[in-house]
Structure 1
Amino acid sequence: MPSHAVLDNKTHRDLRIRTDAGADLGDDIMATLTVPSEFRRVQAHFPILFRRETGRDAFTAMAMFGFQNGENLFLDGDRWDARYRPLSVAIQPFLIGRPPSGEGPGQVHIDMDHPRIAAASEGVRLFDADGNATPYLDEIAERLGDLDEGYRESGAFYDALLAYDLLEPFSLEVTLDDGSLHSLVGFHIIDEAKLRALDGEALGSLHAAGHLMPMFMALASLSQLSVLVARKNRRLGGG
């Protein structure tokens, strides 16, 4: 059960955070949230698939790490085997919080029950001896801001996808080298044929709103599905 607290330089003066990778640190996940403003960086490493939120009509985008719950094919022991970590992973155990009214500037919150909370002699400090933010905390705050802004802006992106009916159901079944069958189901992708069929006015409107580039990046990311399959085959083969 998460235990969120507003981060401050008195209560958390001596707090340290583990920044390495590992299943015991919460990295054993099949997918993580990503936002359209991040698609350009994500697509070079991970497939981007869309999923409808449970009980809602809204969609979210997911950077995919594996084929089943608890499987991260980019996690190699205590090493993250990719040149990029999506923001929603990189900011753990921090999050943006707001006053109960929902208005006002965001605050940096921390999950005190997260496994990345380090022992006194481990990890990276958040504040120096004078109570000033360390470079690590400054970087976390910047990433939190990027993720929060990207999430808040994403509503218009999904509205545009739905307005032009550009999402189509997607499933993938792969027979691996050992003969086992693995699948991804319950996801959506951008319908490339419908996107190509849009007239100039519609494309111009999407471009002016900043939505066209993330759509192209999401489509480009699908080439990473074959990379995911290759990683799975290597994992099964002991490589």
Structure 2
Amino acid sequence: MSQQNIQPLNKNIHGKIKIKQQSNFAHIKGQHLAPVVVHEFSRAGSEFPVCFVKNSDSGSFQPVALFGVKPGENAYTETERWEGTYVPAVVTHFPLALVADGKEEDKFMVVIATENEVVNEEDGAALFDDNGDETEFLARRKEALGKYLEHTHMTKMFTEVLVEKDLLVQQNLEITVKEEKIQINGLYLVDEKKLNELSDEDYLDLRKRGLIGPIYAHLNSMHQINRLVTKKAALS
């Protein structure tokens, strides 16, 4: 969450809180990418380039959807409405999130970012009713957060398999927008040549795990770079 004042959700503190429906997801206005889980690759890949970035501290990889060709630019939040047909799940969960409790490794708690335009006490869907009980809206949001957490674990396993089989390679892209050359660095893609050179045993292992579909959804999604170039040109 990029917004400040993130607090553990508490009915005594947030009993009157309401969440307004978001139209253009302004909280990611200056964000050129966002995490996606492997279950989203097919839908997200029909809209955005889906690639991988590397955490310089941990060395781990995270699949992301690209919203812009430069850091700080998001081609999908330039108007009052989201300029696309699909919104990654992590974006729609805002201002709520699940985070590790800290005391117990396997326990998670719901937190809320309170300082933003969608959280208020007048307009939107309530989190708690007059008795302090969770509303159906909050129950649905918590269920979605729990499912997303499961998906992040599966995604972590997916990326670890790609690393284990040495399939991820760094790719620096150069695009041209109205005669301006722009470098997109630090992206990792599955090397299709290495994929095709896998032994029958390794390829079958990927297929049995259900990973071939997401891999090709990722590879095919890189054609969406052209969509970003078009959007960038329209905004320039």
The two structures have a TM-score, normalised by structure 1, of 0.88
Partner of 2:20: 18
Which letter maps to 1:94? Answer: L
What is the aligned counterpart of 1:72 among 71, 74, 89? 74
Q: Aligned in 2, Cα 1:103/1:67: closer, same or farther, shift over 3 Å? A: same
Counterpart CA distance in 2 for 1:196 and 1:49 is 19
Q: Which amino acid letter does the alignment assign opposite residue 232 of structure 1?
A: K
Partner of 1:160: 161
Q: In structure 2, what is the equivalent of residue 27 of structure 1?
A: 29
Contact 1:15–1:117, Cα closer than 8 Å, also in 2: no
Aligned to 2:110: 108
SS at match of 1:38: helix
Counterpart position of 1:121: 122
Amino acid at match of 2:32: M
Instruction: Check conservation: 1:31, 1:63, Cα contact below 8 A.
Output: yes
After TM superposition, which residue ranges in structure 1, 4 or more long, deviate above 4 angstroms? none
Distance in 2 (CA, whole Å) between partners of 1:152 and 1:130 is: 35
Give the aligned CA root-mean-square deviation in angstroms: 2.1
Indicate conservation of the 8 Å contact 1:22/1:28, yes or no: no
Structure 1 unaligned spans of 5+: none
Answer yes or no: is the 8 Å Cα contact 1:50–1:189 preserved in 2: yes
In the alignment, the residues of structure 2 paired with residue 132 and residue 108 of structure 1 have an alpha-carbon distance, to the nearest angstrom, of 15
Percent identity over the alignment is 26
1:117 positional shift? 4.5
5 Å-filtered alignment, 1:186-197, equals: 186-197=186-197
Residues 52/89 of structure 1: CA separation in 2 closer, same or farther (3 Å cut): same
3-state SS in 2 of match to 1:49: strand
Residue type at the aligned position of 1:181: K
Q: How many residue pairs are counted as aligned between the two chains?
A: 234
- Seen in structure 2, the aligned counterparts of structure 1 residues 221 and 49 have a Cα distance that, compared at 3 Å, is same
Residue 108 of structure 1 and its aligned partner are, at CA, apart by 1.6
Indicate if the aligned counterparts of 2:22 and 2:118 stay in contact, CA closer than 8 A: no
**Structure 2 CA distance for aligned equivalents of residues 127 and 76 of structure 1:** 33
Structure 2 gap ranges (5+):
none
Contact 1:93 1:116 in 2 (8 A): no
- TM-score normalised by L of structure 2: 0.89
Q: Structure 1 pair 212/116, CA: closer, same or farther in 2 (3 Å)? A: farther
Does 137-146 or 28-37 show the bigger shift?
137-146
Aligned-residue offset at 1:64? 0.2
Question: What aligned pairs does 1:1-239 form with structure 2 within 5 A after superposition?
Answer: 2-22=4-24, 24-113=26-115, 115-176=116-177, 178-236=178-236
Q: CA deviation at 1:47?
A: 0.5
Question: For 1:110, what is the secondary structure of its paired residue?
Answer: strand
Three-state SS of the structure 2 residue aligned to 1:20 is coil
In the alignment, the residues of structure 2 paired with residue 203 and residue 3 of structure 1 have an alpha-carbon distance, to the nearest angstrom, of 47
* Kept in 2: contact 1:34–1:87 (CA 8 A): yes
Give the stretch that moved more between structures: 139-148 or 41-50. 139-148
Native 8 Å contact 2:21 2:118 kept in 1: no
Which residue type is aligned with residue 28 of structure 1?
A: G
Measured in 2, the distance between the counterparts of 1:221 and 1:135 equals 36
Question: Do the aligned residues in 1 keep the contact of 2:96 with 2:113 (CA within 8 Å)?
Answer: yes
Counterpart CA distance in 1 for 2:163 and 2:34 is 22
State how far apart, in whole Å, the 1-side matches of 2:81 and 2:89 are. 17
Confirm or deny: 8 A CA contact 1:51 1:187 kept in the other structure. Answer: yes
Distance in 2 of aligned mates of 1:41 and 1:136: 25
Give the distance between the partners of 1:78 and 1:124, measured in 2 at CA: 20
